[in-house]
Structure 1
């Protein structure tokens, strides 16, 4: 330690965390005990933030990827003056408290992203650093650096074991994200054992190979060495930095260096012994010396000064570059410019039509230039997902070795590009786009085949939990992708994704529904939106005969009705199967059956309607209902009712041309008509 007062400050962090865990009789005391010195060094010496305004845009971002150590973060937030009281600290992990078991974005002031599932936070941090780099490239001008902040992450052994962290770290090294700095709590212990039984690789050489700058700190209590490492890392603007800090889990406790200190309270006797070992008073609990609190609370006026200085820079920027300033502020507020969708095409009726992935690509490119915050890419699949933003450049480093990429005032280098290339890294892509969205001023999208949503379900779920404005573009949405066979043909994925709360899944029927789906996706700011799109062509419906595509906004709408508006049978479908039920309805109507066709692109939007509105689409009096979807039937019972029927996929697909597959699995007009007749005959 550099001096006794620093040690007292560090021990205050430690024992607030220990007392939190002990009072709750639940939590993880090990990490706060060993990581407190590095957290103290960062938060008091280097981190740029304003406790009075946690959303100040040019703040540094701090991500506790090792979210199980949340008591450490809550201690820092309270001590530095965020809107968190000592009573909040004492209510750790309790119902309704601001201090839940793992950090939750939007729940606790100062928490940048929801962490806990290991590796996710580190990948989020990569996304945040990418956002800063892109925004700096777009908006900074010589003498006017309005975007200039760092992203820090505290990561654990468990984080670095997870594959998502490896994917993200590999990409970060390639992109040379020099304003990304990770502090690795290298304590050699996980939940169940020491790392020697599972994790013996040379982590430093691993990150060297990724293209990171690495620094070793041999003693996690050596404050001067930690400060020097952070200073060096901040100067390395052409590569991200990993600072490997050798610590001792549960430092000072009877269970030091044992997995037993990871995720269990120390117990009253263990707490007493730990306090005695480190020279801390055993009474009272939650002790915060006045001089320590005063020292930490210097962050409040310091943060106000930092933000005021930034405000002055922004004012000067606004005078010099009024259009850029207005654009940036609009992106920060998450607003869309008036007329942002003015160029979105209206697609003419066409029996052959086009794949909804193709329609999606046309729509994206029609509005992208008008929405500067819109950026994203694919997991090496953009020629297939049709997600290239034409003429908007690639996000990639272009400077030669030694050039200060992120310190440059130039707006012309590669970080300006809005096409992100994630490589074959679906899991990292999902977590990185979450980081982009959490950073702010970015509306990100990621794309892959629907089947590979399985690789990225954790970040999709976390985006929904955080209410992030993220768009997922998942194509090849059924067995109709054809010859690639069952490994690539989604069956249960739609049901799986629909099960996630606060996620909107939209499966549009044709090109015009796809255009409307993108409007909904861009306007929906409080939750992620997922578009499930076809590889195969689907008819573009004649909207002079059928209801307007803006019915998609309601999730489910009456596409066509019998002349008297009194159906005896309702056919319901999503996506490519809507065209199928339309043709089946024509056949049935020729036989004298009064048929209503309902397009149901989004369960979530439909379920948000009032019961009366839903009953207008699916009147309770019409009990003969047949749903058709190229996926498992699970969940459709809520719409077809006890007397309805479902034509779906209850087995894996096969390798064959799409037409053969659809015929073989019964997705034909004849099959739909036969199921409808049988339903009416009951």
Structure 2
């Protein structure tokens, strides 16, 4: 099994061809942006020497095997400089063409304005929101170390380096600082952050906004700092990058001084180089400076011998991949059981039968859904590739599993302590999911999901299977008051495309929800759980299937065709109480538990008709949060019992009643909606007033 350094030696360099390759990359960026009239060429030009050396000499990658598990990862955190990445993917043989480069930022192209994972071969992460790439690269490095420690301890077979390229803007965003702090604490020496220290932002020089000593800050985080003051010296770049990839027990910051827009005499070093073309005259001057004809076409900027030289990355990559496969075969012979475990892990093979052992209680038992969720995580430990932790709230959110924490000295640790870094935690989860095939989870209170929102959105955009475990799901939090009582968070999270928001009613629904979550690795989930105990409700054989469908009839009197009461989470038992009270007056109501409206909306029309018949117009929705979106399901003449203002300090039951979530309010809403539909029971009732809702 491999035990040598994972940093490969470079192929024989040819200085003249290397120089031409860099010049071509710089000219391509200037030409394409000028031709399109928009885009970001300045950074791509300045970093062309660095990117050429990295992709052609240093990076452990194989363009012909882009999914190679042991490849180095490269994340362009400064995603606006996408041309830099696309140009190297073209030069090194990832399948892009000059025409693809010319079509950058165009509808339907392989080269969108910012890199998009799963869209362009060779792109490891969707980036653009500054700082996100830095934070997610930390997650990639953590997952890589964890996988290696769990499956091949003492070996470098799975070891590789995560590289991330960031600009001044990335390092100003707080999420990068949060994640970098944790990376230093964890000693992630398989992580290299290259900082493009050009002193320029969109509006001005960093002298106006960013004068801190970044190098000292990263040293204080526990990072090693290396300097490159000669950005065009290819051999010096290679030497420093190779040193950066050495395992020293610390992550490495490479501070690279560049001039944005170089070698343009007119725009170099100016904010104007950040975006937009340089103009026809300056473009011609740049081409001349780089050794091309001033009117050279796109094709004329890439000589056949230059492309042949850079495509040497294919041969180099094949050799690296072949050597690794030989090491893998040797390991499989020496440790067939261990190799089989890793292959099953990589193939997504796992057994969820442990869910059957989770105790859900008997009807009437009082169990907080956060507690059942904790039992689920512990039951699945070791059987399913779940890995995660909490933002310093593990005891309260009950997500801590058995075993040791992940640390600088224990990469096999079963649990991650993220510290009080919610935004970085969510971004790190994205990195862990991208590294794959872990299903990462992380937990905090629902109200703090606001800190995580940008990373949650990016995870949904990338289709990553992260699980965000949010507890303390409503004003029932109680005495901590409105700062800790979520009101708008559930409704807000439901507006994120491709994010499943799941709010189980009881322990039975928690377990059933996890069956669907584990079967859907390409969708993130916000799992919203109660702090307070909730009664285990009567169940039946169709309950698990109903949960995975997102909505189902949990309780019904008669044919249930007089009234539908829709509810989620802790309000389902309240809805059942109300329906039972209404049944005493002869009203046939059905209670629809809707743990996930996204899942329910995906069901067939026939299924939804069974649960919520179109003809059943008298409808009430109940949820302890903002209720605007529920009108989709109850109609304009239905009623929504919700909370439309912030909470206050007091016991949970007191605050819920003060904000209108109580039995009398649900019954009054039922009468109001029944009154809006003549011919149904209680048809003479009047609509509910605001005063009645909150009394």
1:408 counterpart residue number: none
| Residue among 153, 156, 180 paired with 1:169 | 180
Contact 1:547–1:558 (8 Å) recurs in 2: no
1:41 counterpart residue number: 53
1:64 counterpart residue number: 76
2:328 counterpart residue number: 314
Note the alpha carbon deviations across 1:180-199, whole angstroms, 9 max, x for none.
01111100001111100000
Counterpart-to-counterpart distance in 2, 1:517 and 1:475: 15
1:259 correspondence with 2:271: yes
Task: Give the match's secondary structure for 1:635.
Answer: helix
Structural mapping, 1:365-444, within 5 Å: 365-371=378-384, 373-391=385-403, 393-398=404-409, 414-444=410-440
1:411 counterpart residue number: none
Q: 1:22 to 1:190 in 2, by over 3 A?
A: same
Counterpart-to-counterpart distance in 2, 1:127 and 1:2: 36
1:670 correspondence with 2:683: no
1:219 CA displacement: 2.3
1:100 CA displacement: 0.1
Q: 1:344 to 1:83 in 2, by over 3 A?
A: farther
Contact 1:119–1:160 (8 Å) recurs in 2: yes
Contact 2:352–2:380 (8 Å) recurs in 1: no
Moved more, 104-113 or 85-94: 85-94
Q: Please report the TM-score for the alignment, with normalisation by the length of structure 2.
A: 0.93
1:158 counterpart residue number: 169
Task: Give the match's secondary structure for 2:629.
Answer: coil
1:196 counterpart residue number: 207
1:11 CA displacement: 1.2
Task: Give the match's secondary structure for 2:561.
Answer: coil
1:346 CA displacement: 4.6
2:100 counterpart residue number: 88
Contact 1:356–1:511 (8 Å) recurs in 2: yes
1:504 correspondence with 2:500: yes
Gapped regions of structure 2 (runs ≥ 5):
1-12, 677-695
1:482 CA displacement: 0.8
Task: Give the match's secondary structure for 1:214.
Answer: strand
Contact 1:184–1:245 (8 Å) recurs in 2: yes
Contact 2:131–2:175 (8 Å) recurs in 1: yes
1:369 CA displacement: 2.0
Note the alpha carbon deviations across 1:348-386, whole angstroms, 9 max, x for none.
324242111111000111111212x21101111111111
1:321 CA displacement: 2.0
Counterpart-to-counterpart distance in 1, 2:426 and 2:283: 40
Contact 1:517–1:531 (8 Å) recurs in 2: no
Contact 2:27–2:286 (8 Å) recurs in 1: no
1:112 counterpart residue number: 124
Counterpart-to-counterpart distance in 2, 1:570 and 1:455: 36
Task: Give the match's secondary structure for 2:115.
Answer: coil
| Residue among 463, 470, 474 paired with 1:467 | 463
Contact 2:27–2:290 (8 Å) recurs in 1: no
Contact 1:343–1:367 (8 Å) recurs in 2: no
2:259 counterpart residue number: 248
Task: Give the match's secondary structure for 1:369.
Answer: coil
1:648 counterpart residue number: 642
Q: 1:245 to 1:553 in 2, by over 3 A?
A: same
Counterpart-to-counterpart distance in 1, 2:241 and 2:571: 57
Moved more, 644-653 or 658-667: 658-667
1:268 CA displacement: 2.1
1:215 CA displacement: 0.9
1:624 counterpart residue number: 618
1:547 CA displacement: 5.2
Contact 2:79–2:128 (8 Å) recurs in 1: yes
Task: Give the match's secondary structure for 2:245.
Answer: helix
1:79 correspondence with 2:73: no
1:305 correspondence with 2:319: yes
Gapped regions of structure 1 (runs ≥ 5):
399-413
1:332 counterpart residue number: 346
Task: Give the match's secondary structure for 1:636.
Answer: helix
1:343 CA displacement: 4.3
After superposition, the CA RMSD in angstroms is 1.5
Note the alpha carbon deviations across 1:376-427, whole angstroms, 9 max, x for none.
0111111111110113x210012xxxxxxxxxxxxxxx11012011100011
| Residue among 208, 224, 229 paired with 1:218 | 229
1:340 CA displacement: 4.5
1:558 correspondence with 2:553: yes
Moved more, 132-141 or 191-200: 132-141
1:277 CA displacement: 2.8
Note the alpha carbon deviations across 1:59-97, whole angstroms, 9 max, x for none.
000000100000000000011000212221111111100
Contact 1:2–1:224 (8 Å) recurs in 2: no
Counterpart-to-counterpart distance in 1, 2:494 and 2:641: 18
1:566 CA displacement: 4.2
Contact 1:177–1:237 (8 Å) recurs in 2: no
Contact 2:228–2:254 (8 Å) recurs in 1: yes
Counterpart-to-counterpart distance in 2, 1:483 and 1:219: 59
Counterpart-to-counterpart distance in 2, 1:104 and 1:366: 36
Structural mapping, 1:578-589, within 5 Å: 578-589=572-583
Counterpart-to-counterpart distance in 1, 2:216 and 2:313: 36
1:284 correspondence with 2:297: yes
